[in-house]
């Protein structure tokens, strides 16, 4: 990747971190992690923003569901 593109990616990642911090400010790790996960951030980035570990983020977002019909007990009910 050329130097100019690498610098642009670095700056965009910084902007993303700042916005993520704003979204998660004043919230606990669980709520912040869930919000940032819904926004599409990966566990590593979320952990960095919330000052925790990717394993913690994975743990608190493990039951997070996306899309229609993904709620608890959606399969197998009649």
DSSP letter string, 1-58: --HHHHHHHHHHHHHHHHHHHHHHTTS-HHHHHHHHHHTT--HHHHHHHHTS-HHHHH
Give CA–CA dist 31/20, Å, rounded: 13
- What is the Cα–Cα distance from 76 to 31, expressed in whole angstroms? 29
Whole-model pTM above 0.75? no
- Per residue in 17-26, pLDDT (tens digit) is 889 889 888 8
Question: Distance between CA atoms of 4 and 12, rounded to whole angstroms?
Answer: 12
In this predicted structure, the answer to whether residue 30 has a pLDDT above a threshold of 80 is: yes
The residue-averaged pLDDT of 38-65 equals 91
Query: In the predicted model, what is the mean pLDDT of residues 41-68?
Result: 88
| Mean of the per-residue pLDDT values of the chain | 84
The confidence band for 66, taking pLDDT boundaries of 50, 70 and 90, is low
Q: How far apart are CA 13 and CA 46, in angstroms?
A: 12
Question: Can you give the pLDDT at residue 67?
Answer: 56
């Amino acid at each position: 990747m050329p130097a100019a593109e690498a610098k642009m990616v670095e700056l965009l990642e910084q902007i993303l971190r700042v916005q993520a911090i704003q979204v998660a400010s004043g919230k606990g790790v669980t709520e912040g992690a869930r919000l940032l996960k819904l926004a599409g951030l990966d566990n590593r980035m979320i952990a960095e923003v919330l000052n925790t570990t990717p394993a913690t983020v994975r743990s608190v977002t493990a039951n997070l569901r996306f899309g229609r019909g993904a709620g608890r007990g959606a399969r197998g009910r009649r």
